Structure 1
Amino acid sequence: MQNRNVVSARTATPSVSFLSEVSLLPSRTLLWDFLALQAGFIVCLLHSGNMSVKMALQQEGFDRKKRGYRDINEIDINMNDPLFTKQWYLINTGQADGTPGLDLNVAEAWELGYTGKGVTIGIMDDGIDYLHPDLASNYNAEASYDFSSNDPYPYPRYTDDWFNSHGTRCAGEVSAAANNNICGVGVAYNSKVAGIRMLDQPFMTDIIEASSISHMPQLIDIYSASWGPTDNGKTGGWRPRQRLTAAAPWPDGVNTGKGGAGSIYVWASGDGGSYDDCNCDGYASSMWTISINSAINDGRTALYDESCSSTLASTFSNGRKRNPEAGVATTDLYGNCTLRHSGTSAAAPEAAGVFALALEANLGLTWRDMQHLTVLTSKRNQLHDEVHQWRRNGVGLEFNHLFGYGVLDAGAMVKMAKDWKTVPERFHCVGGSVQDPEKIPSTGKLVLTLTTDACEGKENFVRYLEHVQAVITVNATRRGDLNINMTSPMGTKSILLSRRPRDDDSKVGFDKWPFMTTHTWGEDARGTWTLELGFVGSAPQKGVLKEWTLMLHGTQSAPYIDQVVRDYQSKLAMSKKEELEEELDEAVERSLKSILSKN
């Protein structure tokens, strides 16, 4: 409570309990908020140095209310769609033994008038049933294509077991129409959906994959992908030649798509469970994508959830409960409905829907703006991971190794998006490299350090981190037993690679693999980074680290300097702590001068 105190008008004794209750926010900000909300107090401003009382003033308190906002408990959402009450991920009232309030908070966004209108989401999958009565009115034929059959009609190929229902289910989560007495309601029920059929052929090719990722960026705002490398616990990323083909659309799409603001790519983190690590998935771990994990309706992890340091946030699915209504309710093939959609396949489209609501609030949002909004507005809520604890990084942002920065909050995101100012230019810095081969001991750990100035003094100086990549070349007698951790100068530890017990590789290893972390978001990259490598299996192994290069990505100027703080208990307020303190000092000084001049 430095430099400030509050004195009660009745007792004339210090009363600082209100200030001490919230330790994450600057004391000046708390006091200013206290002054604005509390009546009947005399305020003494105590300045360091002479500690003199500059002004004592008692004022009456009165009400001011924001217009256009209502308490969420007062919101009355009426939908006649038969599965709407079973869509607990939209509004969780405890259905299927869930935890009330643990949902995407779409009701608040809808109440504010945001339903996805004017936004198109491309579902890259096995096709969509665009004749489905719950999808037909929102289908964007112009933005759709079938790369599996090379024609403009991405209708799913028929199989007796309805195997190709995946894309139709994902499409319904995003864009199913509202109030038509059919199935359920999409997260962004007035958005348009495009079908990009690309998963239904004997083998994937570089051309099909690259063409799908870069299809119609002038029409498609958000791409949703609920697929990736095989989740068998031993497969890795993309093949080497794909770095020049399938990987190529990323920079082009995020820089030139969506009218120049950049396409937004949403990726399911993977369904390999504890046997896999999504940092081995070149798509889910790409800094160009927003990787989404899942929780079930009571906040626990799904049994298939993969964990990794590249996951940015989470939504909902099923994967632990046998209750038939605990799955994701959505559209199904041939005009049908289902309660059985699941996996992180269901999580990614929900996120795409939330992002569509944010885009309606502000069509100028870039792909990086969306990632910043995700970090700032996602909530821990009641998510709990039995393996990984919630931790705070060096600037106070709370994260979890599996859930990322928490569950998406549509209401919070659209409110922040509405007045959002695009973040500053992004820079890339090679923070340093270790090129000499180092042996990894069979017991214990190989510990290396790298001190960097983050390119300070150069044009590409990175002061505020977004993504960090550890580009690593390593071989081991058993790749699956490798464990790799990296700790930032501000003390944040990221698990770059967990044990994958099914991975028996002893030849390939990882060749210049970019392990990525988002856990150091907002931190200062300057200082000493620590890399730890070891084996965690039962049998002794050997290995060699051949290269470690530190890649830093972020901004030179404070990313939120132009953002308006409306909630002093928010992550945005915490991220702007120093700036808010300076602003408050200036505001207090101006107010005092005005009061003194009148007296």
Structure 2
Amino acid sequence: MKITWILLFLCEYVVCGKIVTNQWHVHLHDPATQESANKVAQETGFSVLRNHLNSPNEFVFHHKTVPHVSSVPSWSQHKVLLAHHLVKNAKQVEGFLRRKRGYKPIKKQGRVPLPTINKKGIPGLGESDNIKVDLKLPTDPLFSKEWYIRNTGQADGVKDLDLNVLSAWAQGITGKGVTTAIMDDGIDYLHPDLSKNYNAESSYDFSSNDPYPFPRYTDDWFNSHGTRCAGEISAERDNGICGVGVAYDSKIAGLRMLDQPYMTDLIEAAAMSYDRDNIDIYSASWGPTDDGRTVDGPRNETMRAIVEGVNKGRKGKGSIYVWASGDGGAADDCNCDGYAASMWTISINSATNDGETASYDESCSSTLASTFSNGKAWFSLDAGVGTVDLYGQCTLHHSGTSAAAPEAAGVFALALEANSNIGWRDMQHLTVLTSKRNHLHDRDRRHNWTINGAGLEFNHLFGYGVLDAGDMVRVAKKWVNVPERFHCIAGQIDKRYRFNVTKALILEIDTDACKSDIGHRVNYLEHVQAFVSVKSSRRGDITMFLTSPMGTTSMILSHRPKDDDSTRGFTKWPFMTTHTWGENPRGKWKLTVMFDTKDPLSQGIFSEWVLVLHGTQSRPYDKLSSSLEKIIPKLGVVKRQHASNRFSQ
């Protein structure tokens, strides 16, 4: 399968030409150099912002007389640029919306002044909140409030329902030598709880085009988002300030790119490829608008940057992209978000401190695992995620899946210290194997825990469970890299079908998973994509289910009651599931398309389904020590399942 085929389908979802910026994506004729780019810019009235994705002939140009954003393309400047003999092609860059996840207005926020430790407790928090100093535990003032690190039942939580971080720390693993980049609205790197762990060399401001990604202060604290996320990962330990990060000895870098009226494909791509040999993890707590109506994802240059990142980042081991699954609640589906639903990212949902989903959590079959974002007692000062804040302060009310993704990044930083040879796919396998069901449950009882054909337990809301830092570190120390990844276009149905409220559409593809083609054969599944084209009288009323040959059913699209689109539908949209991880892909795959509405006039037209399988040819865990089965019992289960389903190699 050509990679360009994967990259280009998303452009059909872009409302092209509505908003343009004052930047151009410029291709120069070969051979090209920085000097030739500077020459072109000087002779045409532009300036060069940067090279694009390390390509020798691609650059980002800027024109200072053109408005930052406009609904009218700048044809005169565009023509001058195209007329230059060194320019092969140029395109004025479009703008589009991207939203932070988990931000709430100031009246709902909770802040704690910068405290210091003393023998009488923590000033400003009351006698009942005093910390009993224990040399084995951090002495940071807010540590007792960080229930996602150590849940003792505070804020009405469930005791021991946490990330099991203390177990990782007890093994001497604290994130040393690992850098996580926060792609957000900046980082207050002068904050006394962050300054020691700030990696300036790997930081950049793409909003101001300088190396200082400091947040722009506003009265409503809107740009506190990135700083709070950074504190969850790398807040310093035992310094008497705020709390402690999950990987408190790891470094954080700031990639400021959200604080502007419109995002661009080139800025996203530049951030996701920045210093990719030195940045290990990219953490993103943003995405398309979480309104239950939007179907959107990364454009071509961003997809190109992500693909290059997983193939070339970290000196070939692969950049690790962590994504917040979304805050659209039950009315949205994160499979309609092309970032969270990408097989190249690790999509993280959230749970409350008593094991339920938060009201804002989206669900989808592409979610790999969960961390925490809120206590159930949302009105309590203790119930949010404790971390650092702007103006040298602290907060106990960071929340949303924005808070969940950095926690996951912190756990992954611990795993990378334990074993720096872990690749991007290894991290996903570790996540699947070591995440726990624990006390996670769906309070509405709509989504039960299910065991797939490989013996792995999953949930539509929580993925494979809550991350377990202790077990992930233990397994990482003895981890052997998984086999090479292959992909197979397993089959295609290219035919128009009509369906309505009374009659669901059921289609089947019977596949041998490219058994006869050694270059594409898949024997053990990782990700499965269903590229689907379908339109209906109301897009949000469509639901879709994908059933594997081993009987595992994934809801790849849920009801979205706010989505009233009747014209665009889905065109080659890549609905993705991780629920069939480790399964045998051969046999009949079933796609069910139906309406979730009582409107008798609802009707739809289905036109295409392409089934794409991703996975390995050899059993992925054969080389792992049998002693690991005591740490992760489901490893033994899946190995036995694999052994009983042998394939002709």
Do they superpose with TM above 0.5? yes
Q: What is the aligned residue count?
A: 505
Residue aligning to 1:349: 406
Of 421, 424, 430 in structure 2, the residue corresponding to residue 373 of structure 1 is: 430
Residue 533 of structure 2 corresponds to residue 473 of structure 1: yes
The residue type equivalent to 1:288 in the other structure is: W
Which deviates further from its counterpart, 443-452 or 282-291?
Answer: 443-452
Tell me the distance in 2 between the aligned counterparts of 1:528 and 1:278.
Answer: 26
Q: CA deviation at 1:576?
A: 1.2
Residue aligning to 2:357: 301
Q: CA deviation at 1:579?
A: 7.6
TM-score (norm 1): 0.83
SS of the counterpart of 2:202?
A: coil
Identical positions, percent: 65
Equivalent residues of 1:480, 1:501 under 8 A apart:
yes
Tell me the distance in 2 between the aligned counterparts of 1:429 and 1:579.
Answer: 19
Residue aligning to 1:573: 636
Q: CA deviation at 1:384?
A: 0.5
Equivalent residues of 1:81, 1:181 under 8 A apart:
yes
Equivalent residues of 1:303, 1:319 under 8 A apart:
no
Of 486, 499, 513 in structure 2, the residue corresponding to residue 427 of structure 1 is: 486
Residue aligning to 1:563: 624
SS of the counterpart of 1:511?
A: strand
Query: Which entry has the higher C-alpha Rg, 1 or 2?
Result: 1
Tell me the distance in 2 between the aligned counterparts of 1:447 and 1:207.
Answer: 40
The residue type equivalent to 1:420 in the other structure is: W
Residue aligning to 2:292: 233
Q: CA deviation at 1:572?
A: 1.0
SS of the counterpart of 1:201?
A: coil
Of 484, 497, 503 in structure 1, the residue corresponding to residue 563 of structure 2 is: 503
Residue 637 of structure 2 corresponds to residue 542 of structure 1: no
Residue aligning to 1:554: 615
Equivalent residues of 1:454, 1:461 under 8 A apart:
yes
Equivalent residues of 2:501, 2:598 under 8 A apart:
no
1:392-471 alignment, distance < 5 Å: 392-459=451-518, 460-471=520-531
The residue type equivalent to 2:363 in the other structure is: S
Offset from partner CA, 1:82-120 (integer Å, 9 cap, x none): 000100000100011110000000001000000000000
Tell me the distance in 2 between the aligned counterparts of 1:419 and 1:237.
Answer: 39
Residue aligning to 1:264: 320
Tell me the distance in 2 between the aligned counterparts of 1:377 and 1:406.
Answer: 9
Q: CA deviation at 1:320?
A: 4.2
Offset from partner CA, 1:502-559 (integer Å, 9 cap, x none): 0000011001000000000000000000000011123131111110000000000000
Q: Mind listing any 5+ residue stretches in structure 2 that lack a counterpart?
A: 1-133
The residue type equivalent to 2:554 in the other structure is: S
Residue 305 of structure 2 corresponds to residue 249 of structure 1: yes
TM-score (norm 2): 0.77
Residue 576 of structure 2 corresponds to residue 520 of structure 1: no
Tell me the distance in 2 between the aligned counterparts of 1:207 and 1:414.
Answer: 36
Residue aligning to 1:192: 251
Equivalent residues of 2:157, 2:375 under 8 A apart:
no
Of 590, 605, 629 in structure 2, the residue corresponding to residue 530 of structure 1 is: 590
Residue aligning to 2:211: 152
Equivalent residues of 2:356, 2:440 under 8 A apart:
yes
Of 181, 202, 207 in structure 2, the residue corresponding to residue 143 of structure 1 is: 202
1:99-248 alignment, distance < 5 Å: 99-238=158-297, 242=299, 244-248=300-304
Tell me the distance in 2 between the aligned counterparts of 1:553 and 1:390.
Answer: 24
SS of the counterpart of 1:186?
A: coil
User: Once superposed, which parts of structure 1, at least 4 consecutive aligned residues long, lie more than 4 Å away?
Assistant: 578-582
Q: CA deviation at 1:158?
A: 1.1
SS of the counterpart of 1:514?
A: strand
Tell me the distance in 1 between the aligned counterparts of 2:473 and 2:139.
Answer: 25
Which deviates further from its counterpart, 562-571 or 263-272?
Answer: 562-571
SS of the counterpart of 1:78?
A: coil
Tell me the distance in 2 between the aligned counterparts of 1:104 and 1:548.
Answer: 39
Offset from partner CA, 1:457-495 (integer Å, 9 cap, x none): 212110000000000011111000000001000000000
Residue aligning to 1:66: none
Tell me the distance in 2 between the aligned counterparts of 1:454 and 1:121.
Answer: 37
Tell me the distance in 2 between the aligned counterparts of 1:457 and 1:547.
Answer: 25
Q: CA deviation at 1:324?
A: 1.6
Tell me the distance in 2 between the aligned counterparts of 1:579 and 1:276.
Answer: 35
Tell me the distance in 2 between the aligned counterparts of 1:580 and 1:554.
Answer: 16
Residue 385 of structure 2 corresponds to residue 328 of structure 1: yes
The residue type equivalent to 2:458 in the other structure is: F
Residue aligning to 1:46: none
SS of the counterpart of 2:190?
A: coil
Tell me the distance in 2 between the aligned counterparts of 1:580 and 1:103.
Answer: 34
SS of the counterpart of 2:286?
A: coil
